[in-house]
Amino acid sequence: MKMNIRPRRLRTGAYLRKMVRETRMDKSSLIYPMFIKEGAGLEEEIPTMPGQYRYSIDRMPYALEKLQKAGVGSVMFFGIPEHKDACGSGAYAEDGIVQKAFREAKSKFPDLYCIGDICMCEYTSHGHCGILNGEYVDNDKTLDYLAKIALSQVQAGADMVAPSDMMDGRVGAIRSMLDANGFLETPIMSYAVKYASAFYGPFRDAAGSAPAFGDRKSYQMDFHNSREAIKEALLDVEEGADIIMVKPAMSYLDVLAKVKEEIHLPVAAYSVSGEYAMIKGAASLGYVDEASIICETAVSAYRAGVDMYLTYFAPEIAAFMDEGRIG
Ligand code: PBG
């Protein structure tokens, strides 16, 4: 049959298919989130996230070593403190759990790139991401705390900070605090576009950070909105963000593509705990093939435009890249 254009021509062999790929990935774009808990000898598997653990500081280096061997050079730490209080004081304590994690990680693995999640919900007794005024999270009061948390993490060795609280003005507040203390070149990766999402469920089990009452809808975004993502991102650009994050990833690739188009900063996506749990759960039941689903979901984020990808599957994805399965 006479046909000038045959799309199948470029799919005839593996080498050619790889040659004409539109999406390329690299291990340096992967960031692995980790839970660090007070205590000793702990490597507790998280029930809703099989294969993910809460590590005590003494066990953490073994996990970091494995990660580096897999070729993943960047981590984000989440701290699980022993005690929580109304103002989340464990989040900015000099000997807080996450501060200890940064010191230990940077002393044993100086080349590991360490990012700090800046939020209060793992440290407050009420589980909200800020300081309460009655049952409402007080935006402006919270800003002083977030700035203090960021400074304490950077002083402990964090290479970059990532505010995930969704208070208005927090990027500016953190930037001023870091600058005033001489940390002019510590980048801020803003969770600028963070939706109020049920996909965070397993994380809240892992970190014990579910709100004691109400929900996070008065600060995290409504998932019906996508133009609002641009408003949030532009505000953070003005306040001095260096990287813009969209979270969750999988159900928000439309938002990600739009942010990539309109915002001229590197764009990150966080494939969150619920995305991980769904893949693990379905695969363990034999409903889908785990490796293939991990590859396909990861590539879809990069195809949508992501420059950096935060994922609990980072070591697996790195291995699939080495095998030439994706990348
Ligand atoms: C802290 C924070 C959360 C996540 C990252 N930072 C939880 C939340 O907002 O409730 C979620 C990450 C995940 O689900 O993997 N605010």
- Going from N- to C-terminal start, the domains of the chain cover 23-323
DSSP at 37: E
| Longest Cα–Cα distance in the chain | 74
Is residue 141 in contact with ligand 1, taking CB distance under 6 Å? no
Residue 49 Cα, ligand 1 centroid: separation in angstroms?
14
- 243-247 and 267-271: which strand pairing? parallel
Is residue 273 in contact with ligand 1, taking CB distance under 6 Å? yes
For the CA of 210, the closest atom of ligand 1 is: 10
Specify the pLDDT at position 228: 98
- If pLDDT is split at 50, 70 and 90, which confidence band does 161 have? very high
Specify the pLDDT at position 165: 97
Distance CA 75, CA 67 (A): 9
Specify the pLDDT at position 275: 98
What's the token pair of residue 40?
């000793």
**Is-above-0.95 flag for pTM?**
yes
- Sequence-distant (6+) residues with CB within 8 A of 296 are none
Handedness of CA 178, 142, 74, 98 (dihedral sign): positive
Per-residue pLDDT tens over the stretch 284-313: 999 999 999 999 999 999 999 999 999 999
Is residue 203 in contact with ligand 1, taking CB distance under 6 Å? yes
What's the token pair of residue 239?
């306040």
Determine contact, residues 54/35, Cβ cutoff 8 Å. Answer: yes
Task: Share the mean pLDDT of the chain.
Answer: 97
- Sequence-distant (6+) residues with CB within 8 A of 9 are none
> Hey, what's the torsion of the CAs at 172, 178, 182, 188, to 10 degrees?
-80
Distance CA 23, CA 284 (A): 29
Per-residue pLDDT tens over the stretch 147-157: 999 999 999 99
For the CA of 200, the closest atom of ligand 1 is: 14
The CA radius of gyration of the chain, in Å to the nearest whole number, is 20
Distance CA 193, CA 175 (A): 18
Per-residue pLDDT tens over the stretch 163-186: 999 999 999 999 999 999 999 999
Residue 200 Cα, ligand 1 centroid: separation in angstroms?
6
User: Looking at the annotation, which residues are catalytic?
Assistant: 194, 247
- If pLDDT is split at 50, 70 and 90, which confidence band does 258 have? very high
Is residue 201 in contact with ligand 1, taking CB distance under 6 Å? no
Of the residues 200, 223, 247, 309, which should be mutated to test ligand 1's pocket, given the most ligand atoms within 8 Å of the CB?
A: 200
Beta bridge partners of 79: 36
| Secondary element (H or E) of residue 319 | helix 314-322
3-class DSSP assignment, residue 133 = strand
Specify the pLDDT at position 209: 93
- Percent of the chain whose pLDDT exceeds 90: 100
Per-residue pLDDT tens over the stretch 108-132: 999 999 999 999 999 999 999 999 9
For the CA of 33, the closest atom of ligand 1 is: 15
DSSP at 184: T
Is residue 117 in contact with ligand 1, taking CB distance under 6 Å? yes
**Range 31-50 average pLDDT:** 98
Assigned fold of 23-323: TIM Barrel (3.20.20)
Per-residue pLDDT tens over the stretch 211-250: 999 999 999 999 999 999 999 999 999 999 999 999 999 9
Distance CA 189, CA 268 (A): 8
Specify the pLDDT at position 59: 98
Specify the pLDDT at position 30: 98
Is residue 49 in contact with ligand 1, taking CB distance under 6 Å? no
3-class DSSP assignment, residue 267 = strand
Distance CA 281, CA 32 (A): 20
- If pLDDT is split at 50, 70 and 90, which confidence band does 265 have? very high
DSSP at 222: P
